[in-house]
Structure 1
Amino acid sequence: MKMECISVAGSGKMNEDAYATNQAEHLFAVVDGVSSLVPYENAAGQTGGAIAAQLVKQYVEEANGAQSLTELLADANLKLRECMKEEQIDLTKKDALWGAACALVRVSESHIEYAQTGDCMVFAVYADDTVRPLTYPQVSHLEQAAFAKWESGIQDGMRQRVELIEHCRDILVSNRYLANVAGGYGVINGEPACSEFLESGRINRIHLRALVLLTDGLFTPRPYGGPEPKWEDTVLPIIHKGLQRYTDELLLLENGDPECLHYVRFKKSDDKTGMVLYFS
């Protein structure tokens, strides 16, 4: 098995993404940290999202034994809760919680196990270039309302990203309160209910060419007014060009649209983390 990994900071203060490899246990993961809407930084200048992502990374890389993938993520969630308690974070306020989305796989000779929460994705790519999404971006139904309001702001003449973010802030805040509840989305944020919203599964490796794990910063963006890209538009260029070249081309596109007026997203560049596992 060959592996290609990348993690690139976006236009924020720091990279709140991470990836994890645990060769001894055949575990691999990408993690997307989610900062609280209530500003927080520790003494080292790390945001809550960065702390959460590094905690999950460490949990995966230090895992051992026969623990299931969902048990591993649930335990990481409890550890995150302890960390927030130590920092006196108000755990009753969802907008103050640190969080992380994660896509995690365990590779064996005959099959692949996976677990996921949030909007990190795992794709199986077969020998004939068939792309099979194993996971679902759990926040997509909530983002649509925010994107629609963003687009309405553009139509009303707004041309600054900062202005557009403020225009959509009410939706972004209300979405945080839908974490780990019915009709909302799953996320690792210290809430006990997190374990109820973890997704998991298992596939065999017949004709499997590669596994692709991505945080949402690497998804091909939709042009405003254009069709939603298919997963193949993201995954196959990564397989054919390589993760580095795909990322470079995506950054070029984003840098040409710094105010987010032409392609659907909330910031010029989100953090980007990906991992490709190639099988012979």
Structure 2
Amino acid sequence: MKMECLCVAGSGRMNEDAYVTNQTKHLFAVVDGVSSLVPYENADGLTGGAIAAQIVKEHLEEENGEQSLPELLAAANERLYACMRNDRINLEKKEALWGAACAIVRVEDKFIDYAQTGDCMIFAVYADDTVRPLTHPQVSHLEQAAFAKWESCISAGIRQHSELMEHCRDILISNRYQANTEGGYGVLNGESACPDFIESGRINRTQLRALVLLTDGLFMPRPYGGAEPRWEETVLPIVHKGLQRYADDLITLENSDPECVRYVRFKKSDDKTGIVLHLSE
């Protein structure tokens, strides 16, 4: 098995992504930290999102093979809760919680187990280049309202990212309150409801060429006024030309549109983390 890994900071102050490659345990994961809405930094200057990503990463790296993947993510969620309580985070306020999205796989000889929460994604790529999403970006239905508002502001003549963000801020804040609720989305944030929103499954390895795990910073963005890109437009270039080259091309595109008006997104460049497992050539 050949493996590619990448973890690149976006345009934010620090990289809140992480990844896990435990080849001994055949365990691989990408993690996307989510900072609290209440500003927080620890003594080392790390944001809540960065801390959450590292807590989840460290927990997964200690995996002993005795738990299922959903159980493993639920245990990471409990560890995150304990760390926030230890740091005296107000756990009664949703806006104060640190969080992390995660996509994880365990690669066995005959099958692949997977689990996911948030908007990290896992794709199976077959010998004929069929791309099969194993997961669903759980926040996409909530983001659509913010994207629609963003586009309506562009149509009204707004061309500054800061102003576009200000018009959409209330929607984005409202979306955060939907974490681990019915009609919302799953995220590791210490809440007891979190395990109910972890999705998981198993596939066999027949004709399976590669597995691709991505945080949302590597998704091809939607052009203003255009259709949402198909997953193939993100996944196949990664498999064919390599993760690093795909990321370089995406960053070039993002840098050409710093105000986020040609391609609809909330940051010029989000943190980008990916793992590609080439299972057969």
Do these two structures clear the TM 0.5 threshold for a shared fold by scoring above it? yes
Aligned-partner Cα distance in 2 for 1:227–1:155: 16
Supply the AA of the counterpart residue of 1:166: E
What pairs up with 1:15-164 in 2 under 5 angstroms?
15-164=15-164
SS at match of 1:24: coil
Deviating 4+ runs (over 3 angstroms) = none
Any idea what the Cα deviations from partners look like across 1:12-38, whole Å, max 9, x if unmatched?
A: 000000110112211000000001111
Supply the AA of the counterpart residue of 2:207: H
Aligned-partner Cα distance in 1 for 2:154–2:25: 48
Supply the AA of the counterpart residue of 2:39: P
Partner of 2:203: 203
Kept in 2: contact 1:123–1:211 (CA 8 A): yes
Partner of 1:180: 180
Kept in 2: contact 1:7–1:18 (CA 8 A): yes
Aligned-partner Cα distance in 2 for 1:39–1:53: 17
Once the two structures are overlaid, the 10-residue window that deviates more, 64-73 or 112-121, is: 64-73
SS at match of 1:192: coil
Deviation for aligned residue 1:93: 1.4
Aligned-partner Cα distance in 1 for 2:222–2:24: 39
User: Please, what is the CA RMSD of the aligned residues?
Assistant: 0.7
Any idea what the Cα deviations from partners look like across 1:37-93, whole Å, max 9, x if unmatched?
A: 111110101000000011111111111032100000000001101111111111121
- The answer to whether 1:274 aligns with 2:243 is no
Deviation for aligned residue 1:263: 0.3
Equivalent pairs counted in the alignment come to 280
Partner of 1:259: 259
Aligned-residue sequence identity (percent) comes to 76
Kept in 2: contact 1:22–1:62 (CA 8 A): no
Point out where structure 2 has 5 or more consecutive residues left out of the alignment: none
Deviation for aligned residue 1:151: 1.1
Kept in 2: contact 1:21–1:60 (CA 8 A): no
Aligned-partner Cα distance in 2 for 1:84–1:40: 11
Aligned-partner Cα distance in 2 for 1:164–1:77: 33
Aligned-partner Cα distance in 1 for 2:52–2:207: 36
Aligned-partner Cα distance in 1 for 2:91–2:190: 8
SS at match of 2:39: coil
Aligned-partner Cα distance in 1 for 2:6–2:16: 13
Aligned-partner Cα distance in 1 for 2:162–2:36: 18
Aligned-partner Cα distance in 2 for 1:65–1:158: 52
Point out where structure 1 has 5 or more consecutive residues left out of the alignment: none
Q: What is the TM-score when the length of structure 1 is the normalising length?
A: 0.99
SS at match of 1:106: strand
Any idea what the Cα deviations from partners look like across 1:90-149, whole Å, max 9, x if unmatched?
A: 112111110000000000000000000000000000000000000000000000000111
SS at match of 1:72: helix
- The answer to whether 1:171 aligns with 2:147 is no
